[in-house]
Amino acid sequence: MPALFGIESFVSEELQTLGYSKSQIKVSDAEVCLTLKDQSEMPRAIARLNYNLRTAERVLLGLAEFSAITFDELFDQIRVLPWHQWLDQEYFIEITGYSRNSKLHSVPTCQSVIKKAIIEKLNSVHNYSKDIVPENKKKGIHRIQFSLINDKVNLRLDTSGEPLHKRGYRKKATEAPLRETLAAAILMISFYQRNIANQEILFDPLCGSGTFLIEAALIATRTAPGIQRYFSGAKKKLIGRKAFQIERKLALEKSLIYGDSSQVEQEYNQARQVALSSQTSKHEQKRKFIRKDFLLPSDEIRIFGSDISAEAISMAKENAKRANVLEYIDFSVKDINSITYQELTEKLGGDRILLVTNPPYGERLGDLKQAQLLMNKIRNISFTEGKLRKGIRLSILTPDDETESIMPKVADKRRKLYNGGIQCTLYHYFKFDH
């Protein structure tokens, strides 16, 4: 499963939440691999991951791995593989990939050789009259990805189709939307799910098209991020539609939005009671409660967002409506410069707040001076007398290296992430110096 740099560990964490053990998971740069214990698990596992993973970019099925230092070797090793068992007839075959530190460094040539070998294999099995395999994009597309690293070839079949960050709810966006997978990862980094059990409120004062808010609502309601969309794996004979139908049904039943709300709220209360009554430390109790994959009753979910742009708020509401989470989010048109801490706590109805935001910045929407003015305002809301306000936790994603010089203190934690190809830092403040 490809992932954005810096969030691979959260894909691994999600896999463990879905029931896979650490021994089955291998984490590397921008990639997480899962090895199944039994091949018969594959169709359901593929469907489960596509529907449920919030932070991965795609679900790829590993087909083969071998070494090759000449194009003849590459061709021969590709041709002997059972492509007729893997690929549906007459689907268009698309080859993509990359090469690093390998003798076969020409990507276009590798693409051509791989496709030619696949076509020859299919021709030898299906006895087509010409040396060309019929391909029809309207029937379907097989996207085969290769990587060539240190002369080792790895072949994978894409089962997602559109990238997983395309949840299906965003038809409109502001000028520079935050990728959904990155937003979900930032909420995980910020321990959002752990703290909503303590009635923490989520607030984004620069919400744009509402990505943080919508992803938070999906997490809080235990709703699978891919529940509304189609996956190409459902049309492949290797996986099949039935596996996707079964896993979608299970995901719907688990959701506070789509499932039996009385049943899921009962599960929540039971999990909470068991966790909090156990003879363990308070921290361990909370951890056990979170690991139960709990969800909150709907009236306990408190998510707020504002933006100076009425158009952005209108788009955000449309996106939230399509995601079926509009009822869980309070949107307002508001200039951050007019927001005070006192007004904020009164409006939100509490002082336990996770303020999470991705301010517009020079490379994205505004100039650097304007971005730093916004940072000053975020500082004034979040800090008093040089200290983080009690009850406030703050997460800011920005490429601005001057952020910590604007804030009264250095971040308690920071993490390098990439947003739309731009290197950013997530600054997380959570320690109260009182």
What would the two tokens of residue 80 be? Answer: 């002997």
Tell whether the model's pLDDT for residue 4 goes beyond 70.
yes
* Cα–Cα distance for residue pair 93/78, rounded to 1 Å: 14
Smallest CA-to-CA distance from 394 within 206, 181, 198, 182 is with 206
| Residue 96 buriedness (CB in 10 A; 0-12 / 13-18 / 19+) | exposed
Domains of the chain: 8-158 (3.30.2130.30), 261-294 (no CATH)
Smallest CA-to-CA distance from 160 within 89, 65, 225 is with 225
> ∠116-119-124 over CA atoms, to 5°?
125
pLDDT digits (tens, 9 = 90+) for 197-254: 778 999 999 999 999 999 999 999 999 999 999 999 999 999 999 999 999 999 999 9
Tell whether the model's pLDDT for residue 175 goes beyond 90.
no
Average pLDDT over residues 23-31: 94
Tell whether the model's pLDDT for residue 22 goes beyond 70.
yes
Percent of the chain with pLDDT strictly greater than 70: 87
Residue 370: its H or E element: helix 368-382
End-to-end CA distance of the chain: 43
Predicted TM-score (pTM) of the model is 0.88
pLDDT digits (tens, 9 = 90+) for 51-89: 999 999 999 999 999 999 999 999 999 999 999 999 999
pLDDT score for 140: 92
pLDDT score for 51: 98
